[in-house]
Amino acid sequence: MATEVFQYKPQGVCCQLMQISVNDGIVEDVQFMGGCHGNLQGIGKLVKGMPLDEVISRLQGIQCGSKPTSCPDQLTKALVAYKNHKQAAV
């Protein structure tokens, strides 16, 4: 299976755009545009090589301060949207 690259526009966080590369259900790379650069680089490196479902289960629901979401939580929303799109295409 070939690597698929998609973009996601998060809501309610400082990050303005996420670009995610997935190959056979595994996160190959995540790039964040905007937001806390150091923290987001760290998140990108930590999730690299992880299955989508593991990333979702570990990061879903994380909040940033008083915000009801966070960049990690928005990443899970992007991955869930990607999975739903893939399932609908089958």
- Select from 3.10.20, 2.30.30, 3.30.390, 3.30.40 the CATH code of 4-89: 3.30.390
Span 48-61, average pLDDT? 98
- DSSP annotation string for 23-62: ETTEEEEEEEESS-HHHHHHHHHHHTT-BHHHHHHHHTT-
Closest CA to 16 of 44, 41, 36, 46: 36
- The reported pLDDT for the residue numbered 40 is 95
* Each residue's pLDDT tens digit, 55-86: 999 999 999 999 999 999 999 999 999 999 98
- The reported pLDDT for the residue numbered 51 is 98
- The reported pLDDT for the residue numbered 22 is 98
- The reported pLDDT for the residue numbered 89 is 83
Banded pLDDT at 90 (limits 50, 70, 90): confident
